[in-house]
Amino acid sequence: MKRDTLLRALYAPNRGSGGYAFAQSPEELEKSFGKPVARLASNENPFGPSPAVFDALKHSLSDVHRYPDQEVKQFQNALRSLYGSYSFVIGAGMDGVIETVIRVIIEPGDKVVIIEPTFSFYKIATEAYHGSVCSVSLRDDFSVDPEAVIQASQGAKLTFLCTPNNPTGTTISQETIEKIAESIDGLLFLDNAYGEFSEVLLTPFDLMKKYDNLVIGRTMSKLYGLAGLRIGYAAVPDWFLPFYEKAATPFAVPVLSARAAIAALLDQKYAQEVRTHIMRWRDYIMQESPLSIVPSSSNFCLIDISPKTGEEAAQFFAERGILVRSCDSFSGLEPHYIRVSIGRDMECERLLEVLHAYAEDIKR
C-alpha cells in the first residue's frame, strides 16, 4: 500500500498543521437560533456590489464557454487608469496572488518573515511550499518595530507587511514601510486589502516608483463586495512580472469575475458611498462602545472581550443574532478578542446594543 508513505510526506514537520480557520457558518447559526443573523464575521461589504456589477454579469453569461483573456487585460487597463501605469497581476483573490508570489520565489527551506498576529494565509501558503516561517511580534500596542522586522528579514526572500492589519485594524506608517523596504534584500509584500478604509497611505502605489523590491496587494473582496467572485490584484516590480506570469496558472480568473471587477472599479461613486458609511459607523462604534476597541483604520473592529474568551463571546453574540469572528485562532494574540465587521445601519445598531448587554453581563 502506498498510503502510509504518502501520509508520512504530508505530515512532514514544515508542512504546517493548522490550515485556515473559517468563521462559523451563518446557515447553521440561523438554523440553531431560528432567526436571521447579522453576518459580521468576514469583513465583507454588507450591501453587496454596485448595481453596475449585476448588469455586467448578465451581459457576460453568454461568454462563459470562452477562456478569459481580453477581460483580464481590460481589468489591468482599468487599474492602470485608476492608479497609474504599474505592472498589475490578477489572481483568484489576493490569496491567489500571494500563493503565486510564494510559488515564484520560495524554494524548500527559504525564510519568509511575517509579523503576528496577522492574516493566517501567509503562513499556510509558505508552509505548503516548504518555506520556513520566521515570526516577529507586533509590539503591545500592535505597532510594528521596524528594527525587529529588518533584523528578522536578513537572509529572507520574502517579508509580509499587512496594513491595515487583519485582525488588529491598525496601520503601519509610510515611514516605517519605506524604512523596511529600503533595508531588506528580499521582496516586501505589502498587503493592503483594507487600504481603501484608511486615511494612512492614501496612494500606496506611488511607492512602486521608489522601490524595486515591493509588491502591493489589493482585493475586490472587501470594499467592492466581490468576495464570492474571487478576484484580487497586486502591483509588482516590472522585472518580476515575467517570472510571475511563468509561474501563474494560465487562466486564474473567471470571465465573470473580471467583468464584474471592471464594472465595480468604474463605479467609484458607489465605492465612495460604501466607504463613507463604513468609516462613519466604525468611528461611531469605537466612540460608543462600552468595551475597549483597538483603534481601527479598517472595515472591522478588534474588541477586547476579556475576561471571557473569543469563543465564549462569539457564542454570546450569536445567541443575540450577530455572527462575529472569535480571534482565539490568531497566533500571537491573547485569547480575549473578537473581530466584528461594520454592517448595515440596523446591524450596527444591534451590535451596539449587544455590546452593552455583554458589558453588563461581565460585570455580574
Ligand X SMILES: *Cc1c(COP(=O)(O)O)cnc(C)c1O
Provide the binding-site residues for ligand X, judged by CB under 6 A: 93-95, 119, 162, 166, 191, 193, 219, 221, 227, 232
Pick between residue 83 and residue 119 the one whose CB is nearest to ligand X: 119
Shortest gap between Cβ of 56 and ligand X (angstroms)? 19
Which whole-number Å values give the CA distances from 290 to 303, 305, 353, 359, in the listed order?
Answer: 10, 10, 10, 6
Pick between residue 75 and residue 119 the one whose CB is nearest to ligand X: 119
Opening angle at CA 257, ends 251 and 259, nearest 5: 105
Q: 3-class SS at 29?
A: helix
Pick between residue 79 and residue 227 the one whose CB is nearest to ligand X: 227
Pick between residue 146 and residue 169 the one whose CB is nearest to ligand X: 169
State which residue has the least CB distance to ligand X: 93
Pick between residue 94 and residue 305 the one whose CB is nearest to ligand X: 94
CB 219 within 8 A of CB 189: no
Pick between residue 89 and residue 354 the one whose CB is nearest to ligand X: 89
Please report the sign of the dihedral spanned by the C-alpha atoms of residue 218, residue 221, residue 227, residue 229.
negative
Cα 237 to the center of its chain, rounded Å: 21
CB atoms within 10 A of CB 162: 25
Pick between residue 119 and residue 129 the one whose CB is nearest to ligand X: 119
Shortest gap between Cβ of 252 and ligand X (angstroms)? 12
Shortest gap between Cβ of 95 and ligand X (angstroms)? 3
Say which residues have a Cβ less than 8 Å from residue 81's Cβ, sequence separation at least 6: none
Pick between residue 195 and residue 321 the one whose CB is nearest to ligand X: 195
CB 215 within 8 A of CB 129: no
CB 223 within 8 A of CB 197: yes
CB atoms within 10 A of CB 80: 15
Q: Which helix (H) or strand (E) holds 91?
A: strand 87-91
Residues 160, 190: Cα–Cα separation, whole Å: 6
Shortest gap between Cβ of 233 and ligand X (angstroms)? 9
Shortest gap between Cβ of 192 and ligand X (angstroms)? 9
Shortest gap between Cβ of 317 and ligand X (angstroms)? 20
Q: Quote the DSSP letter at residue 141.
A: T
Q: 3-class SS at 114?
A: strand
Shortest gap between Cβ of 219 and ligand X (angstroms)? 3
Shortest gap between Cβ of 232 and ligand X (angstroms)? 3
